[in-house]
């Protein structure tokens, strides 16, 4: 028996597609067969399986478990819950891997799979291997069963282990994603006054799209914080691995700004530690980490890539602009937005300042949102290579960790190829609007030299 995946579904960090078009039950079964075969060949016997609140998730879960079983792998089914709950199960249960069925922050008609293999992220070439194995029918045969394990209360208890935070007045927006039930349990265990929005799981996302990194999706949370005069608010994406936050004045605290807050208490305890952020993060963050006595490390965008780099460097803390935050300090090193929310309370308490004050003390930078523009898949990486070659020939100060990040006296600009879509991503940051305009001119001229234009679709 063989299987062919839709060519767009096997991505760099996970597997994702549109239900009934590019992803379905047969794909889920084939993923179970392939992943199960690899686990078995590595000496493993059991895999934890969880799923998010999408309408299609239970169907895919059943097919995935069937595929694992037919490869001789026992499934430990933890049921509906956020991706970090699956990561937690993989870390603490007697299993050899884990799979979460989730469409993350994609629209309601999408779904997908995030995987952990014997404690490490399963991505890139690993995912392509599943495609090759399916095409060749290179699957081991076996029989195995499954069991259901309710780990939710244990997971919630772990989130508040060692909690030393003060009582704040907080707004929580789960966006009808799968973090909702966890939020409802969590707020009973921490002091303060808590107001929640959209904690019922609804895979149709009737209130707003569950992506807290887009400011328009924070409108309800801003209204709640303003109306109740709360100290701050937090929001979660569809599967609970990315956090968004606003202060008491309704100002967004972006991913790199959150990291600057988290870094301070961590570096007090672990002086000289390496703190990792992705290439989209503000120069202000890297400067702040250095100022606090840490070693700032700029790395490639992508949760799997960041996790791998953390293991390599022994970093206690990392984060991305997209709201993935990774605490190895007092935790497991995976991205968990619910834990990040708890750590925000603890950080503000430890630093003796309100979240609003912490946000207000940050240097004012003028920057663009993440700008995206379509480019043919075959040209995507080639354009970046051309830009790098021209910049280096011109003697520019350029970091090529992930695309081209160029420092100038005005600030910096970034152009990189997305690993998950046929787009180029640009961002720029300066000290004032005039400087930002000069940086944008540099991006435009580089694109023009490679035959591309930054059109209206660049708007965030």
Residues belonging to the active site = 104
d(CA 334, CA 74): 24
d(CA 173, CA 160): 19
Residue the block writes with tokens 């998730």: 57
d(CA 75, CA 67): 10
Q: CB neighbours (10 Å) of residue 105?
A: 24
Crossing angle of helices 57-70/25-41, nearest 10°? 40
d(CA 105, CA 114): 13
Q: Is the distance from CB of 291 to CB of 267 less than 8 angstroms?
A: no
d(CA 229, CA 236): 21
Give the Cα-Cα-Cα angle 334, 337, 341 (nearest 5 degrees). 125
CA–CA distance from 190 to each of 30, 151, 197, 256, 450 (Å)? 42, 19, 17, 26, 54
3-class DSSP assignment, residue 97 = strand
3-class DSSP assignment, residue 455 = coil
Crossing angle of helices 337-351/255-269, nearest 10°? 60
Closest among 159, 163, 166 to 355, alpha carbons compared? 166
Closest among 197, 240, 194 to 53, alpha carbons compared? 240
Cβ neighbours of residue 191 closer than 8 Å, sequence gap 6 or more: 165, 166, 167
Q: CB neighbours (10 Å) of residue 449?
A: 12
Q: Is the distance from CB of 121 to CB of 304 less than 8 angstroms?
A: yes
The neighbouring-strand residues paired with 423 are 374
3-state SS of the chain: helix, strand, coil percent to 5? 40, 25, 40
Closest among 254, 82, 53 to 159, alpha carbons compared? 82
């Amino acid at each position: 028996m063989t299987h062919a995946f839709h060519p767009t579904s096997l991505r760099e960090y996970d597997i994702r597609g549109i239900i009934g078009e590019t992803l379905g039950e047969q794909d889920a079964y084939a993923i179970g067969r392939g992943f199960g075969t690899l686990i078995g060949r590595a000496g493993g016997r059991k895999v934890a399986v969880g799923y998010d609140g999408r309408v299609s998730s239970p169907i895919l879960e059943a097919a995935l478990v069937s595929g694992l079983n037919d490869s001789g792998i026992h499934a430990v089914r933890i049921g509906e819950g956020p991706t970090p709950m699956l990561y937690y199960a993989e870390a603490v249960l007697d299993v050899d891997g884990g799979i979460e069925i989730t469409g993350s922050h994609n629209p309601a008609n999408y779904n997908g799979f995030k995987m952990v293999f014997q404690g490490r992220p399963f991505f890139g070439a690993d995912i392509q291997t599943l495609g090759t194995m399916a095409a060749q029918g290179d699957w081991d045969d076996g029989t195995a069963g499954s069991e259901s394990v309710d780990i939710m209360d244990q997971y919630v208890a772990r989130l508040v282990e060692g909690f030393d935070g003060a009582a704040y007045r907080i707004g929580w927006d789960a966006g009808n994603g799968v973090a909702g039930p966890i939020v409802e349990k969590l707020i009973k265990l921490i002091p303060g006054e808590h107001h929640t929005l959209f904690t019922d799981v609804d895979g149709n996302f009737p209130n707003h799209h569950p992506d807290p990194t887009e400011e328009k999706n924070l409108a309800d949370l801003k209204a709640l914080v303003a109306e109740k005069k709360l100290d701050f608010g937090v929001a979660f994406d569809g599967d609970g691995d990315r956090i968004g936050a606003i202060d008491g004045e309704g100002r967004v605290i972006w991913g790199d700004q959150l990291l600057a807050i988290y870094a301070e208490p961590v570096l007090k305890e672990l002086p000289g530690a390496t703190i990792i952020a992705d290439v989209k993060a503000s120069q202000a963050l890297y400067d702040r980490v250095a100022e606090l006595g840490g070693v700032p490390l700029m790395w490639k965008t992508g949760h799997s890539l960041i996790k791998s780099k953390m293991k390599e460097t022994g970093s206690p803390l990392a984060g991305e602009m997209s709201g993935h935050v990774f605490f190895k300090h007092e935790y497991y090193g995976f991205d968990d937005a619910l834990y990040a929310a708890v750590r925000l309370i603890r950080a503000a308490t430890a630093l003796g300042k309100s979240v609003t004050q912490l946000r207000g003390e940050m240097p004012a930078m003028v920057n663009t949102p993440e700008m995206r523009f379509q480019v043919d898949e075959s040209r995507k990486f080639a354009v970046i290579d051309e830009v790098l070659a021209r910049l280096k020939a011109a003697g520019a100060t350029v970091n090529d960790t992930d695309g081209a990040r160029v420092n100038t006296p005005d600030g910096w600009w970034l152009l990189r190829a997305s690993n998950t879509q046929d787009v180029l991503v640009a961002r720029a940051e300066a000290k004032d609007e005039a400087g930002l305009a000069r940086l944008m001119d540099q991006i435009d001229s580089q694109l023009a030299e490679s035959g591309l234009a930054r059109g209206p679709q660049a708007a965030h």
